[in-house]
């Protein structure tokens, strides 16, 4: 996607008169015009607070989402550290059995519903999607803001549920226990119900934006793969989330008036609850991982300086995973007493999921082949992703096999499996994405050195924490217990120490971010030399309206050679000369003269 | 925008989404809907008092009539017939996934007893029981063989050619 | 609107505030859309996607209905006789008629007839209100008979229970206590003739589905009422009537759900 503003060149080069007031290149979506110097105290910050709280700018909403989900990630992460610390020794060191149950439920519910589901799509997706499409905003900006507040409302309900005693059902709310336990199930189900609405609204917004608001020339085959992934995610959100809504309503009614739909004492079927729950929650697993796939596709292309191998296969495999993801939920229920027939069917379809996932992994690896791999912090995180996700995915196939699952069900093996996918997959991809888009979001570079060190520490800590759990699980350590037999002691201790390394690595990322906001070097428009619209056509950070001119897209999102050699074509078929670089935005023209960041950028390779 | 590159605000009849449905069509569709409602009520009441007997077909028939009614509403009242295909695709996707939801759940609830021939006892105990059974059969074998398979009274039942 | 003859430029110097060539853009056009056409298409697709979520929301309960019907077919044929077919049929006709008035009101506004559009919207709200009134009578009648969802279901004295969730508290008062009152309109809780112990399950599904459907009717009434007021004030015209079209779509889906609910609950 090149800069193809083919207006007469002189008008562009004499930059001074080109900008109407309020649209100078330095104009920055993060900033508000401040009050006069005589305004003091609270009145000084109030306009900014108000402007942010009522903003309909997708970039600001994305930043607000990013902040909010990070807070929940931190809380839920601390809960995980407490759980791990309790498991250091088999005795009840500082958590009672009851507190332990509440703590891991807190960790699960918060991580799933308040962090991972909205994580990449609502924060980075909201920020990047309209810019990558060359649109000024999402299709329904007010709805976007509403979804943020609905999410906040859901989150407050969840916090209320935790403060009023917490819940001890695990994040799955299985009946009949959730029907009878006297913990705060009701507010928590309502929290999930409300947060689901936010998810639906984001999904609708994304689908409509992708369908209707692409820049001229941005055909489906030229969509960045991140957009394809978000598209697949949004379909899942729209189709699956209503079902968790009605499930939570039914569960709440079960508790309130005893409707008996999931109560065997009244003729209901508790396994039906599991079907209802997993009809959403298994596709939700793909809501969590698909955006990560999109991120990795972007990073692989950009940091290998090479067109992403098998673009179409990656794009369509996202959609295939989204669709197949609806047909496999029963593999969570192999030992629930569901019919053997459905177990077999679900098991077979579960294996099929491995095909599109494998396509992606192989294509990413092939993208790096003979490319000029640039090992930035973001790239290191995405390499870690490929390593960890492959392990997570393959162990998923193992637990998807019926006979093996009987042995491994509800053991630490399953815990390790989904942490490899969710944490090693989604969270690593999200950190990589943050390193990648941070300069665009905040106009500052994060420290590469510390970023690379943190990637190493996190990777080491993660494997130390969770690889041991594979071994523990295969030896029969059941999940969700606060204590264990003495023979598991050593591995549990290794795992707990690993969790400290993991926490340390994540803290380094956090401090890196905060440091960069104050001390980071100012970012140029396109520090990574990427070829998608948000890098080539906007400043860092972008303008309020993203673009000064609606971009015209003439080639694919990963055509680095066309972009950087400057021998592109006008795209109108009329022999228009090569694109005129647009001096006030990022893009190839900045590659040579940008501020020295101390980063070594390999020369784009042409052969 | 690629597909929206034409000039704005054309509210011409020919364009999708701005089709003005003739009043005659709306009224005809409403008539058909009322007719189908009466049909399904009459069929239901007849079925209940035994005038007709649809039996297992009564559910598919009622659902079929409802499906036709819903299609009529979607096609004409909701103007899907004149609309972009994306909207129709979204609508049909919801139906498809509803069917998937039901069918896969039914694969469980409808087939709970399918392969349940095995007793709950563990395999080693079962093998032991089978061994005992075999030993017992073998012990009883002489007694069985002493007894003729066809008793004299049964010969009348066997037709000889 | 920014399609110029060659060379192609998408020059928009006013950023988000203006639309270049000064062809004059209608006041309803949001700045982040290029044309009314795009805005209309986008909001309509958004509405359709919202309807998809509505269908799947009800879909969960339809699946519960289907699963329990396949488990206990006799329960459903027996319990459905408790529902008043005539009232259900009347309500179906009422909703179908309201669908017609909404579709007609869109036609009216497309042709620029704001007055007709207003009255048709008012008629829709009135019909929806009628639906709710009928629903109210149906519900109160059932409550009188002690037909409640799940564990609240009241049975006649002497019914034997084998399900552990049912017991003494599910018995209604002895029938003869009230028979002497001679009040035609007084029903005795438990005097509904149902003996199936899972009747509570059927009526749980019935109350959940019709209840949530009724909630949607109420929301639709409010939305259409607002539209009617705005139409009266002349907010909509043949140029711009997207909200009417979208709320109309919502209303038709409420109708479609009832089209399925009616035979499943009342007839078979």
Query: The tokens of A295 are what?
Result: 């991120």
Give the per-residue pLDDT at A600: 40
Give the per-residue pLDDT at B37: 94
Inter-chain CB proximity A247 and C60 less than 8 Å: yes
Is there a domain that residue C248 lies in? yes
Domain positions in chain A are 375-523, 531-607
CA of B71 vs chain A CAs: smallest distance (Å) = 20
Q: Which of C59, C82, C78 lies closest to C69, judged by CA?
A: C78
Give the per-residue pLDDT at A601: 42
Model confidence at B156: pLDDT above 80: no
Inter-chain CB proximity C34 and B1 less than 8 Å: yes
Inter-chain CB proximity A6 and C7 less than 8 Å: yes
DSSP-derived 3-state class of residue C171: strand
pLDDT in tens, B122-151: 778 888 888 999 999 888 888 877 776 677
Among B9, B43, B109, beta carbon nearest to C26: B9
CA of A255 vs chain B CAs: smallest distance (Å) = 23
Q: Is B112 on the interface with A (CB under 8 A)?
A: yes
* pLDDT, mean of residues B78-106: 91
Confidence band, pLDDT 50/70/90 cuts, at residue B158: low
Q: Which of A318, A338, A320, A317 lies closest to A329, judged by CA?
A: A338
Q: Say which residues have a Cβ less than 8 Å from residue A452's Cβ, sequence separation at least 6.
A: A375, A376, A377, A380
Is there a domain that residue C30 lies in? no
Among B15, B41, B101, beta carbon nearest to C267: B41
Inter-chain CB proximity B2 and A216 less than 8 Å: yes
Task: Answer for the pair A458, A527: CB distance below 8 angstroms, yes or no.
Answer: no
Q: Domain of C157: which CATH number? A: 1.20.120.80
Inter-chain CB proximity C56 and B102 less than 8 Å: no
Q: Which of A465, A111, A60 lies closest to A288, judged by CA?
A: A111
Residues of B in contact with A211 (CB under 8 A): 86
Q: Say which residues have a Cβ less than 8 Å from residue A315's Cβ, sequence separation at least 6.
A: A223, A225, A228
DSSP-derived 3-state class of residue B113: coil
Give the per-residue pLDDT at A586: 43
Return the residue in C76, C99, C117, C248 with the most chain B beta carbons within 10 A, the one to mutate for interface testing. Answer: C99
Give the per-residue pLDDT at A29: 85
Is residue C7 reached through a cis peptide bond, with omega within 30 degrees of 0 on the bond before it? yes
Query: The tokens of A334 are what?
Result: 């192999």
Q: Is A56 on the interface with C (CB under 8 A)?
A: no
Give the per-residue pLDDT at A465: 96
Residue A305, phi then psi, degrees to nearest 5: 50, 40
Confidence band, pLDDT 50/70/90 cuts, at residue B111: confident
Give the per-residue pLDDT at A566: 46
**Total domain count for chain C?**
1
Inter-chain CB proximity B59 and C268 less than 8 Å: yes
Give the per-residue pLDDT at A31: 78
Give the per-residue pLDDT at C173: 74
Distances (CA, A) of A551 to A133, A443, A531, A554: 9, 21, 13, 10
Give the per-residue pLDDT at A74: 96
Task: Answer for the pair A604, A561: CB distance below 8 angstroms, yes or no.
Answer: yes
Give the per-residue pLDDT at C226: 96
A130 to chain C: nearest residue by CA? C32
Q: How many beta-carbon pairs under 8 angstroms link B with C?
A: 167
Inter-chain CB proximity C96 and B59 less than 8 Å: no
Give the per-residue pLDDT at C21: 41
Give the per-residue pLDDT at A512: 96
Residues of C in contact with A139 (CB under 8 A): 42-43, 46
Give the per-residue pLDDT at A389: 96
Inter-chain CB proximity A342 and B111 less than 8 Å: yes
Query: The tokens of A450 are what?
Result: 């510390």
CA of B88 vs chain A CAs: smallest distance (Å) = 14
How far apart are alpha carbons C79 and C86 in whole angstroms? 16
Q: What is the DSSP letter of B154?
A: G
Q: In chain A, count of helices (H) and strands (E)?
A: 22, 0
Is there a domain that residue C243 lies in? yes
**A471, exposed or middle or buried, with CB in 10 Å at 0-12, 13-18, 19+?**
middle
How far apart are alpha carbons A138 and C16 in whole angstroms? 13
Inter-chain CB proximity C55 and B95 less than 8 Å: yes
Inter-chain CB proximity C256 and B74 less than 8 Å: yes
**For helices A225-257 and A185-212, what crossing angle results, to 10°?**
150
Q: What is the DSSP letter of A307?
A: P
Among B8, B15, B91, beta carbon nearest to C52: B91
Q: Which residues of chain A have pLDDT under 50?
A: 1-26, 566-607
Give the per-residue pLDDT at C186: 64
Give the per-residue pLDDT at A536: 82
Among A135, A272, A339, beta carbon nearest to B111: A339
Give the per-residue pLDDT at C170: 83
Inter-chain CB proximity B62 and C102 less than 8 Å: no
Give the per-residue pLDDT at A16: 43
Task: Answer for the pair A323, A574: CB distance below 8 angstroms, yes or no.
Answer: no
Give the per-residue pLDDT at A37: 72
**ipTM summary value:** 0.88
Query: The tokens of C223 are what?
Result: 């939305």
Furthest C-alpha separation in chain A: 81
Among C50, C64, C152, beta carbon nearest to A261: C64
Return the residue in C64, C73, C164, C212 with the most chain A beta carbons within 10 A, the one to mutate for interface testing. Answer: C64
Is there a domain that residue C34 lies in? no
Among B94, B101, B108, beta carbon nearest to A342: B108
Residue C239's domain comprises: 39-267
How far apart are alpha carbons A566 and A558 in whole angstroms? 14
How far apart are alpha carbons C224 and C231 in whole angstroms? 10
Per-window interface: A 100-139 vs B, CB < 8 A = 134-135
Per-residue pLDDT of chain C (268 residues; tens, 9 = 90+): 333 333 333 433 333 333 334 445 677 888 888 888 889 889 999 999 999 999 999 999 999 999 999 999 889 988 888 888 999 999 999 999 999 999 999 999 999 999 999 999 999 999 999 999 999 999 999 998 888 888 888 888 777 888 888 888 888 776 555 555 555 556 777 778 788 888 889 999 999 999 999 999 999 999 999 999 999 999 998 888 999 999 999 999 999 999 999 999 998 8
């Amino acid at each position: 996607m090149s800069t193809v503003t083919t207006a007469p060149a002189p008008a562009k080069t004499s930059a001074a008169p080109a900008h109407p007031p309020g649209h100078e290149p330095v104009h920055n979506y993060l900033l508000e015009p401040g009050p006069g110097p005589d305004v003091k105290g609270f009145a000084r910050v109030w306009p900014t607070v108000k402007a942010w709280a009522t903003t309909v700018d997708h970039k600001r909403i994305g930043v607000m989402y990013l902040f909010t989900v990070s807070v929940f990630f931190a809380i839920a992460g601390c809960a995980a550290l407490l759980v791990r610390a309790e498991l250091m020794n088999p005795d009840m060191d500082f958590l009672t059995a009851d507190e332990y149950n509440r703590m891991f439920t807190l960790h699960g519910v918060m991580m799933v519903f308040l962090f991972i589901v909205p994580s990449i799509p609502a924060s980075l997706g909201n920020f990047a999607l309209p810019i990558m499409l060359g649109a000024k905003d999402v299709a329904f900006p007010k709805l976007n803001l509403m979804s943020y507040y609905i999410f906040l409302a859901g989150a407050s309900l969840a916090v209320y549920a935790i403060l009023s005693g917490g819940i001890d059902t695990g994040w799955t709310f299985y009946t009949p226990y959730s029907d009878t336990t006297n913990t705060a199930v009701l507010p928590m189900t309502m929290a999930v119900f409300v947060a689901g609405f936010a998810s639906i609204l984001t999904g609708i917004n994304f689908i409509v934006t992708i369908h209707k608001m692409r820049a001229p020339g941005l055909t489906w085959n030229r969509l960045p793969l991140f957009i394809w992934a978000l598209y697949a995610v949004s379909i899942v959100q729209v189709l699956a989330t209503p079902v968790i809504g009605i499930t939570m309503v039914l569960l709440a009614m079960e508790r309130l008036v005893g409707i008996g739909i999931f109560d065997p004492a009244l003729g209901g079927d508790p396994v039906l609850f599991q079907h209802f729950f997993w009809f959403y929650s298994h596709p939700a697993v793909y809501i969590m991982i698909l955006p990560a796939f999109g991120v990795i596709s972007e990073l692989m292309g950009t940091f290998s300086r090479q067109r992403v191998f098998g673009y179409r296969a990656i794009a369509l495999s996202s959609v295939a995973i989204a669709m197949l993801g609806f047909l496999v939920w029963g593999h969570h229920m192999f030992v629930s007493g569901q019919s053997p027939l459905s177990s077999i069917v679900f098991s077979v379809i579960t294996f099929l999921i491995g095909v599109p996932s494998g396509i992606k992994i192989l294509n990413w690896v092939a993208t790096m082949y003979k490319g000029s791999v640039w090992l930035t912090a973001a790239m290191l995180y995405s390499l870690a992703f490929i390593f960890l996700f492959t392990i997570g995915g393959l162990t998923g196939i193992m637990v998807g096999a019926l006979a093996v699952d009987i042995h491994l069900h509800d053991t630490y093996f399953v815990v390790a499996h989904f942490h490899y996918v969710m944490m090693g997959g989604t969270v690593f991809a999200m950190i990589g994405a943050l390193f990648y888009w941070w300069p665009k979001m905040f106009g500052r570079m994060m420290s590469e050195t510390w970023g690379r060190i943190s990637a190493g520490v996190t990777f080491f800590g993660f494997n130390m924490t969770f690889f041991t759990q594979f071994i523990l699980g295969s030896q029969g350590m059941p999940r969700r217990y606060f204590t264990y037999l003495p023979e598991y002691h050593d591995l549990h201790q290794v795992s707990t120490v690993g969790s400290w390394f993991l926490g340390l690595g994540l803290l380094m990322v956090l401090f890196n971010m905060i440091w960069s906001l104050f001390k980071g070097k100012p970012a140029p428009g396109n520090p990574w030399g990427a070829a998608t619209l948000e890098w080539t056509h906007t400043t860092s950070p972008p303008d309020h309206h993203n673009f000064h001119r609606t971009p015209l897209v003439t080639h694919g999102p990963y055509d680095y050679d066309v972009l950087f050699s400057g021998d592109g074509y006008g795209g109108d078929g009329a022999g228009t000369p090569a694109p005129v670089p647009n001096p006030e935005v990022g893009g190839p023209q900045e590659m040579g003269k940008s501020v020295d960041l101390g980063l070594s950028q390999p020369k784009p390779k042409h052969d | 925008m690629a597909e929206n590159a034409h000039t704005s605000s054309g509210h011409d009849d020919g364009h999708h989404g701005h089709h003005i449905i003739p009043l005659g069509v709306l009224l005809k569709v409403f008539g058909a809907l009322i007719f189908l409602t009466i049909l399904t009520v009459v069929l239901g009441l007849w079925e209940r008092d035994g005038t007709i007997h649809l039996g297992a077909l009564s559910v598919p028939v009622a659902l079929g009539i409802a499906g036709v009614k819903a299609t009529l509403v979607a096609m004409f009242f909701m103007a899907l017939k004149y609309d972009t295909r994306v909207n129709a695709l979204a609508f049909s996707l919801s139906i498809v996934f509803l069917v998937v939801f039901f069918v896969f759940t039914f694969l469980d609830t409808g087939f709970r007893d399918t392969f349940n021939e095995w007793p709950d006892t563990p395999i080693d105990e079962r093998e032991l029981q089978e061994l005992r059974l075999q030993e017992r059969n073998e012990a009883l074998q002489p007694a069985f063989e002493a007894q003729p398979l066809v008793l004299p009274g049964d010969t009348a039942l066997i037709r000889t050619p | 609107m920014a399609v110029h003859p060659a060379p192609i430029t998408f020059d928009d110097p006013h950023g988000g505030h203006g639309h270049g060539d000064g062809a004059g853009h209608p006041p309803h056009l949001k700045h982040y859309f290029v044309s009314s056409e795009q805005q209309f298409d986008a909001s309509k697709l958004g509405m359709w996607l919202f309807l998809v979520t509505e269908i799947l929301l009800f879909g969960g309960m339809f699946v519960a209905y289907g699963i329990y019907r396949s488990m206990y077919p006799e329960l459903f044929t027996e319990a459905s006789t408790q529902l008043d077919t005539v009232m259900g049929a009347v309500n179906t006709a009422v909703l179908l008629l309201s669908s017609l008035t909404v579709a007609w009101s869109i036609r009216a506004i497309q042709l620029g007839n704001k007055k007709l559009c207003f009255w048709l919207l008012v008629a829709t709200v009135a019909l929806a209100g009628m639906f709710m009134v009928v629903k109210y009578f149906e519900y109160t009648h059932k409550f009188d008979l002690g037909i409640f969802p799940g564990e609240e279901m009241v049975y006649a004295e002497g019914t034997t229970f084998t399900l552990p969730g049912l017991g003494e508290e599910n018995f209604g008062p002895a029938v003869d206590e009230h028979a002497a009152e001679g009040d035609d309109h007084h029903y005795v809780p438990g005097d509904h003739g149902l003996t199936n112990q899972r009747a509570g399950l059927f009526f749980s599904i019935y109350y959940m589905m019709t209840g949530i459907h009724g909630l949607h009717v109420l929301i639709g009434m409010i939305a259409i009422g607002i539209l009617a007021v705005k139409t009266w004030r002349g907010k909509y015209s043949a140029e711009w009537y997207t909200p009417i079209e979208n709320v109309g779509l919502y209303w038709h889906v409420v109708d479609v759900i009832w089209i399925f609910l009616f035979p499943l609950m009342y007839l078979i």
